[in-house]
Chain A
Amino acid sequence: MPIEPWACDMKINPAYYFLAPAVVGLTVFKLIPISVAIVGSFYGTSLMGESVFRGIDNYRSILSDPDLLSSLGITLLFNLIANPLQVVLSLAVALLVFRPGPLIGLFRSVLFLPVTLSLVLTALIWNLLFDPFLGPVNAILEAVGIGRQGFFKDETQALGSMVWLATWRGVGYWMLFMLAGLYAIPESLHEAARIDGASWWQRFCHVTLPLMRRPIAFVLVAATAINMLFFAPVYIITAGGPNGATDFVMFRIYQTAFNYIDLGRALAMSTIMLLVVLIVALVELRLLRSED
């Protein structure tokens, strides 16, 4: 019997072969860049471009910087409003378009349409729509007697306008996951509840909602990861203003790296941001942990 030179007795679980591409991808595109960023966060760059070891100086300066802490607060507040809003709205629209009916395909497509636009285009569109002088939204508000609003140009409305923009684009996408979750609920459970005389609201609270914990947890964590890194509309529309109202951490990181030419500090901010996202995601997962 011929012996293959590479043959050996060691048996490898076939699951590893299937996992390998994902592990390689994760390592090359995630773990290695993250490691490089963490190492880089302990360095600075001299004026002549040489790397200089700074130890924990980058972290010390960031954590004592009131402006960065304020940015972190704004980013968390944005997430505190945008994430639950997107979860609730995506679940609501998923429930609306869940059952088959006339034109339901059209409704689903319309709801999904904003996702197909790039975030940059979305930002440009809403910047024009909300323009205080030329924007059609303000023209309508003026026509109905409400009066013109500043939206992105108003310190008190800019963060809310960003929440609106992120939600307008995000809801259609998250709706898909909610729909998948709704389809996974066995119809027999609803049937049994209906026979027992449960109302629509009772079926929603006691059948739908408990069985939607996993999709809801996924959407919440994924929305958190995306909204924590919210950047393009801030860069395009407000540049962190007015008066720091939309000074998100990601914008500050960009400024630090590319305008203030301090890559080490920017990497330290990114590392802190990574930790914050991890902690928030873990808390969310724990809160929405399924019993099974």
Chain B
Amino acid sequence: MGKLTALRRFGGWLVLGAAATFMLSVVPASAGTKLDIVWMGWAEEMVKPLMDWFEQENPDIKLNYQRIPYNELLSSLEVRLGARTPEPDIYSADASLTASYAARGHLMDLTPHFKDDLARFDEAALQAASYRGKVFAGPFATSTQLMYVNVDLFKAAGVELPGTGIEDRWTWEQVLGAAKKIAKPQENIWGILLEQSDRPYQLLPLMQSRGAKVVSDDGLVSTGYIDGDKFVEATQFYGDLFGVHKVSPPGLFDLNLVQEVFHTGRAAMMVGGTWNLDRLNAGASFKWIAVPHPYFEGGTPVTSTGSWQIGINPRSKNPEAALKFMRFFMRDDVQVKWFNLRPYPPVLKANWSNLSDRLTGQPWKIAKYELQNTAVPRPPIPGFREYEEILKLAFRDIQQGAPVKERLTRAAREIDRELAKYK
């Protein structure tokens, strides 16, 4: 009898539990919704204020965000998205990979949700977030590159400074000439630094300035392009900066370390992003100026662009909450705050005037000119991840003395092998 009572009591709890589970499942999705977010590994103080602001405005949505450093972010996303699970709901998408993610069904088509907003975005940023005529990501930042100059080192070596006007743009040959006069490798003083010295993002403009085409029109063949004469010539120039002229430190691939070398006054020039401006303005220990990105004599000025976007996983179980998050981050005021946390050039047209008090001075004038006139986005090829990774390893080897033509030929063979799956 006692056993029967216990069994009934257990049955009662079971029914109650099932009812509670059912009740919870029919509560509207927005109540107590949790969004799983994979975010680029910017410093916590650059990320948390925006996330907190969103949570304050949307108390029914909790954000579970994970910041992953750039070097691990892309492979980590590959693993998580490749599993085709509903998580992460939202992720930071590198602009160069939009086409790749979209082609593989990892991005929600945002075109219907953005239809009234399209005119608000900078055209290049919107183009970078699109694939085959549809918008797949929310532009969150764009980028351009400037050349920062340590005036003190130039003066100490008695070398004439480059002008800061667009018309004063130096050629790479002039940069090398000045760098050779200033660099003292034995004393750890360098002539020229490339902030992301192994990444196609920063290096493709060198080859494009020389007139090289970096991939076939359909984005599926690299042989004949990255091992073509002009690409090889520009890469040879790049490789010689490290091994022959010894004006750049080889093997320094970490962006933070390169920045550290420049910001501690141990390099005469650095080609880098506008994110360096805040640190320099905050109090550099040396006098500095920013000048336009160099180009090859007889070639055309080309600068890198593109940056971060926000993507929604199409398998997300919380699409409404994810779209709320997206709309929040596409707001003018949110992106103004974002600029104040990390000064990427704005992707919203209105913010160039909203931020006019901060976007003053010659560096920002140059940045705006480059974005409108010389910026060339990375090729929107479905296999950019493979293209970038293989080319990155080739650039690393070339920095350390590998024969340029031979190494690029091998890279082209490897890239074509990996791109074959997209045909």
Tell yes or no: A114 within 8 A of B by CB.
Answer: no
Establish whether residues B422 and A47, one from each chain, have CB atoms under 8 Å apart when the complex forms. Answer: yes
Tell yes or no: A181 within 8 A of B by CB.
Answer: no
Tell yes or no: A84 within 8 A of B by CB.
Answer: no
Chain A 36-47, CB-CB to B under 8 Å as 1, else 0, gives 000000001001
CA distance A94 to B199 in the complex (A): 47
Establish whether residues A243 and B251, one from each chain, have CB atoms under 8 Å apart when the complex forms. Answer: no
Tell yes or no: A241 within 8 A of B by CB.
Answer: yes
Find chain A residues with CB under 8 A from B400 CB.
Answer: 150, 153-155, 241-243
Find chain A residues with CB under 8 A from B250 CB.
Answer: 153
Chain B 2-36, CB-CB to A under 8 Å as 1, else 0, gives 00000000000000000000000000000000000
Other A-B contacts than A133-B188, A153-B250, A259-B389, 15 sampled, CB-CB below 8 A, are A47-B422, A48-B104, A48-B105, A49-B105, A65-B417, A67-B410, A67-B414, A239-B396, A240-B393, A242-B397, A242-B400, A243-B400, A244-B397, A244-B410, A260-B418
- Closest Cβ–Cβ distance, residue A234 to chain B (whole Å): 12
Interface residues of B in 359-417 (CB under 8 A from A): 382, 385-386, 389, 393, 396-397, 400-402, 407, 410, 413-414, 417
- Closest Cβ–Cβ distance, residue A12 to chain B (whole Å): 36
Establish whether residues A260 and B386, one from each chain, have CB atoms under 8 Å apart when the complex forms. Answer: yes
CA distance A275 to B75 in the complex (A): 28
CA distance A67 to B75 in the complex (A): 22
CA distance A266 to B56 in the complex (A): 45
Tell yes or no: B115 within 8 A of A by CB.
Answer: no
CA distance A194 to B169 in the complex (A): 85
CA distance A240 to B392 in the complex (A): 12
Establish whether residues B105 and A259, one from each chain, have CB atoms under 8 Å apart when the complex forms. Answer: no
Please give me the residue from chain B that is nearest to A153 by CB atom. B251
- Closest Cβ–Cβ distance, residue B240 to chain A (whole Å): 16
Q: A residues engaging B (CB < 8 A)?
A: 44, 47-49, 61, 65, 67, 132-133, 150, 153-155, 239-244, 255, 258-263
- Closest Cβ–Cβ distance, residue A26 to chain B (whole Å): 27
Please give me the residue from chain A that is nearest to B250 by CB atom. A153
Find chain B residues with CB under 8 A from A255 CB.
Answer: 389
Closest 6 CB pairs of A and B: A243-B402, A243-B397, A242-B400, A258-B75, A259-B389, A153-B251
Tell yes or no: B155 within 8 A of A by CB.
Answer: no
Please give me the residue from chain B that is nearest to A254 by CB atom. B75
Q: How many A-B residue pairs have CB under 8 A?
A: 69
B contacts with A: majority SS: helix
10 A-B residue pairs with Cβ-Cβ distance under 8 Å, sorted by A, are A47-B104, A48-B105, A49-B104, A67-B410, A133-B188, A241-B397, A242-B400, A243-B402, A255-B389, A260-B389
Which of B385, B397, B410 touches A261 (beta carbons < 8 Å)? B385
Which of A49, A65, A244, A262 touches B421 (beta carbons < 8 Å)? A262
Output the residue of B74, B385, B413, B421 with the most chain A CB within 10 A.
B421
Output the residue of B79, B103, B251 with the most chain A CB within 10 A.
B251
CA distance A153 to B400 in the complex (A): 7
Find chain A residues with CB under 8 A from B74 CB.
Answer: 259
Find chain B residues with CB under 8 A from A150 CB.
Answer: 400
CA distance A263 to B249 in the complex (A): 36
Establish whether residues B393 and A239, one from each chain, have CB atoms under 8 Å apart when the complex forms. Answer: yes
Tell yes or no: B163 within 8 A of A by CB.
Answer: no
Tell yes or no: B299 within 8 A of A by CB.
Answer: no
Please give me the residue from chain A that is nearest to B418 by CB atom. A260
Find chain A residues with CB under 8 A from B397 CB.
Answer: 241-244
Q: A47-B103, A48-B104, A49-B84 are in contact. Are A259 and B396 (CB under 8 A)?
A: no
Establish whether residues A49 and B389, one from each chain, have CB atoms under 8 Å apart when the complex forms. Answer: no
CA distance A26 to B386 in the complex (A): 36
Output the residue of A47, A155, A244, A260 with the most chain B CB within 10 A.
A260
Find chain A residues with CB under 8 A from B393 CB.
Answer: 239-241
Tell yes or no: B158 within 8 A of A by CB.
Answer: no
Output the residue of A150, A239, A240 with the most chain B CB within 10 A.
A239
Establish whether residues A259 and B385, one from each chain, have CB atoms under 8 Å apart when the complex forms. Answer: yes
Find chain B residues with CB under 8 A from A244 CB.
Answer: 397, 410
CA distance A212 to B103 in the complex (A): 59
Tell yes or no: B78 within 8 A of A by CB.
Answer: yes
Find chain B residues with CB under 8 A from A153 CB.
Answer: 250-251, 400
